[in-house]
Structure formats: structure tokens, C-alpha cells
Chain A
Amino acid sequence: MKILVTVKRVPDPESVLKVNAEGTGFAKDNIKWVVNPFDEIAVEEGLRIKEKVAGSEVVLVSIGDKAAQEQLRTGLAMGADRAVLVVSDTDLDPLAIAKVLKKVVDTEKPELVLMGKQAIDDDANCAGQMLAELLGWPQATFASEVKFGADGKSAQVTREIDGGLETLEVPLPAVVTADLRLNEPRYASLPGIMKARKKELKEMPLAELGVDTAARVKTTKLETPPKRQAGRKVESVQELVRVLHDEAKVI
């Protein structure tokens, strides 16, 4: 099975992001960058499928500036076979991302696209669903389990949704987006890191793809919300109940 997995370069989740001088984005200097945690889960799932289904190939794709090589190398070190980087110096909105990914899918012709359910920087949770629609493929988002039919032509996906767990059956090819409980990603081994240096990482300038990436959505302002103030400590459960009842009047 040929599997395409998306990898986004995002700030480390523990980073404190500061608004840039123009007030339209966040300052990108002095930040530690990582693979979007949900994409890491998607990569892991791709590798687990590859380990089960003989003859599988896991191809990574990222869209971003050249620095995203680092995150693709991380995925290659985990065990992916090769990587494609669509080089773009500007941030694209989710629909533009989906259009670029569609172009890559048209070339690579995978049977399965695995993506993180959302990127932890813009929290949009859109690109996977959009890609599925542009391809005319079914989608199974927020996956916590992926199984394949005996004939390898369909997937049964369990999804984490409001109120419980839902199971869908989708014919392949399909787009699946990973939720937190799908798996626990492996760490890259030292031999894995060594091997990754020699694996193919192909760069493609965005302009060469001929995709309409004009922004449908523009961020005109970015700001920090007002901080909630810490209140006070209470000494005992009795005091807590009293203040909640008499002062806050919430019980």
C-alpha cells in the first residue's frame, strides 16, 4: 500500500508565541520547531501499516520554507521511505494547502493519505477534509483506530466524536486524519537518524505546481487575549464551600 503522510513544521507546544511587530502573525525567531504532534501520530500509523502490509511505501510531504526539511528528516528517521517538500515562503490558508496537496496526490497516487487532525499552531482542523473533497475521496477524521478489509480495498475507521466512538467504512483511496489515541509515536533510533540522511528528500518550488494558492482568508490582526487573573487560596474545604456559596454565589 502506498501511503502519503503530511508533516507540518510547527512551534514546540510549550513555546510562548509573541505577536510580531505588524500585529498580523507571530514572531518566528527564537522558537524551537517540531513536527506537529498529530502529524507525528499519522507518520507512526503509516509505519505500522507498512510493517503489516508487505510492499508498502510511506512518503512524507510538507509545505513550508526550506527549514521544514528538518521535520521531514525526523519523519524519515522514524522510518518513512522518502519525502517531498513543496517550498513556499508564505503561509498558505487551509484551502490553498489542500489544493497543493491534491497536486502531490495526483502525482504520487497513494491509496491512503494520513494527516494529523489539526495543526497545533493555527488549530484550523480543515486541510484533511478539504483535500478529501477536492479529490472526491471519502474521509475519516479524528481516527482512533484504522483497520483494513481482507481485500485491502476498504478501511474501517473508528472516530472519536461527541458522545462516543463511531465506526465508518470507507473505500480506498481515502483521507484519514489522526486523533490523539490512534497510537503512540516511536522515537527515531540512532541508526534511523543515520539512514534518514541518505533518504530522498525532493524539493519542489510552489510556483512550479501551477496551483491557485490565492488566500481566501486573510489574517488582519493577531493579538494576545486578556489574561485571567489568579484568585486566592482557601485554607479548607469549609472555607471553599462558604466562598462559593456566599461570595461567588455559584452553588
Chain B
Amino acid sequence: MGNVLLIAEHQHGKFPKTTLVGVTAAKELAGKTGGKCIGLVLGQGVDALGSDLAEYGIDVVVVDAPALANYVADAYTVATAEVAKQKGVEAIVGTATAFGKDLLPRVAARLDAGIAPDITDVIDAKTFRRPLWAGNLIATVTIESPMRVVSVRGTAFDAATKGGAKGAVEKLSPAISGTTKFVSFNETKSDRPVLTEASIVCSGGRGLKNGENFTTYLEPLCDALGAAMGASRAAVDAGFVPNDLQIGQTGKVVAPTLYIAVGISGAIQHLAGMKDSKVIVAINKDEEAPIFQVADYGLVGDLFKAVPELTEEIKKLKHA
């Protein structure tokens, strides 16, 4: 009858979609443990966020402390573990984002808990499914320790919506310690939709040849479609675009309604990050490129001709 604690990641005073996906998974898990789902908001000046989270129909614990002003793994681990102990928690749920991937294993180690990273299904209170080997294998894993920790893949559950009776918000002040110092965050600024939240994603690969071509060819297509821009590892490694755009096994996982892969060959490591998209379009001059094996619609041709043409056609369609 243990409770489930959801660590609610927030950015710029909001919960990203990945956190709301986590809420859904945590509620589902609480249904199987027979306990309550409790949201946990950590930070400084986060009272409003705590109240907002309670509107998803769950009780919320807020830990508001200067030591938590910026996320650092050691201080956040101590705070999370203390709250887990005080609230009769048997399972801790977080998101498989950079934040969750950094924090949750550390929390698990502190509590001598087994961890299932990047889960896509909750089978029962202890059993989960997760992809591995770049998504080419799916494992069913059982966590046998009394405390269990999971991170949730951001595309695997629907985002929770507000509703039901608003939960209670409680403030706790556990002792917090840590030696890590946050220095700076160099944020990639963009007016486009967030990659992991967009319903359309256009991604570029090595075929675009350089960073300027992302600006000249891919960005107008993204803007015509209202799409987020992504990239293959090859394009990021080559310095065409920032790391934050990388889609794949070691980057972000997306599952938009429409995914357009431009000049991407489709290595299994890239497919791992996008193959659950509803409709996949590939534009590539090499008709043997593996991306065509997963694409619903393939266009063999020169992207430098096809992409501007596509952008124009879409603009026409939108104005029709």
C-alpha cells in the first residue's frame, strides 16, 4: 500500500509535457501499488508550481530552499530521499529527460533501490517494460527491492490533464547537503516548438552539409509547418547545430504526428529516437538509405531542390 512519489521537473516556471507524461505513469503505478500518487516540487520560489501540480488531482509536497535554486544532483537527491522516507513511498517516478537521467539513479543508489530507466509500460506494481539496444529489444524487468525507482519515456504515456479534486499541498523542509556548484546555463534560444512537445518535427542530417544549410533550407520548412527542428547525431557531431537538437538512442526521443527526415541515412541509433512517430517522411538522394525502410512516404531526390519546393507547396496549402 505504499505511495508513489513523482518528481516533477519544471523549467521557466512551467511543467514541460514530459513531466505531465510522468504524472500519468505515476498515477497508473499508484493504481497498482494501492497507494497515493504524490507530486514533489523542488526548487526556490516554487509555491505556485506546487499549487498548479495539485490541480492534476494529486497531493503535492513542496520543498522550497535556496540550496535547490538550481538543479544539482547531490542536493536534489538528498531532498528527494528524505521526502520519500517521510511520505511512506515505495516507488519513485521521474522523467527520462537529462534531469531525470541524472537524478534518478543517484536517488536509487541512496535508497538501495532497483531502477528501471526509460520505461514504456507499467505492467504491475513491480514490473515494467523498457527498450534497450537502441530500441531494437524490449525488456520486461521486475524490480525486487522494497523501494523502486523508474524513469518514464516522454512518448510512452499521454500527458495528464487537470481535473478531479485538487490535491493538498504540503511544505517540507528536509536537511539538504551537497558540494556541487551550479555555474551557468547557456540556453539554446528558439521561437520554434519544443522538440519533445511538437506535433511536427523536421530533422536534418549529414546530407545538409553544413550549419548554414540548416538555416537556409530546413528552418523555412519548419516555420511553414509550425514544426520543431531536430538533427541526427552526425549533424550535431559535425557542429552544424547544437547538441540539444539530437534525436536518437543517446539524444532525445520523439514521437510526433509527422516526422520529416531530410538528408538522414537512418542508422539504428537515429531510428531509436523517432520510429514511434505516427507518419514518417524521408527525403534522401540515396534510394538505398535505411531511413526508407521505416518511412511511410519516401522521396528520392536532391534535398536542396526538394525542400524549398516542399516549403512553397506547404505555404500554398496553408493559404488555400
Contact = CB atoms under 8 A, between A and B. Distances in A.
A17 B138 CA distance: 12
A193 interface: no
Nearest to B147: A216
Interface string A225-240: 1001011111011101
Interface of A: 13, 16-17, 19, 26, 38, 93-95, 98, 117-118, 120-134, 138-142, 144, 156, 159-171, 179-181, 215-225, 228, 230-234, 236-238, 240-241, 243-245, 248, 250-251
Interface in B137-196: 137-145, 178-188, 196
B210 interface: no
Q: By DSSP majority rule, is chain B's interface helix, strand, loop, or mixed?
A: mixed
Nearest to A37: B250
Given A94-B105, A180-B237, A180-B250, A224 B298 contact: no
Interface string B271-307: 0000100111100000100001111111110000010
B65 interface: no
Interface residues of B, number: 89
Contacts of B258: 244, 248, 250-251
B138 A223 contact: yes
A118, A132, A240, A248 pick with most chain B CB within 10 angstroms: A240
A94 B137 CA distance: 18
Contacts of B112: 95, 216
A248 B252 CA distance: 25
Interface of B: 11, 72-74, 77, 97-99, 101-110, 112-118, 127, 131-145, 178-188, 196, 200, 225, 233, 236-237, 242-244, 249-250, 252, 257-258, 268-269, 275, 278-281, 287, 292-300, 306, 309-310, 313-314, 317
A148 to B, nearest CB: 14
B228 to A, nearest CB: 13
A130 B73 contact: no
Contact of A17 (B116, B133, B188, B297): B133
A224 B73 contact: no
A218 B144 CA distance: 8
A125 to B, nearest CB: 5
Contacts of A98: 109
A131 to B, nearest CB: 8
A93 B242 CA distance: 33
Contact of A133 (B77, B182, B237, B243): B77
A230 B294 contact: yes
A101 to B, nearest CB: 11
B120 to A, nearest CB: 10
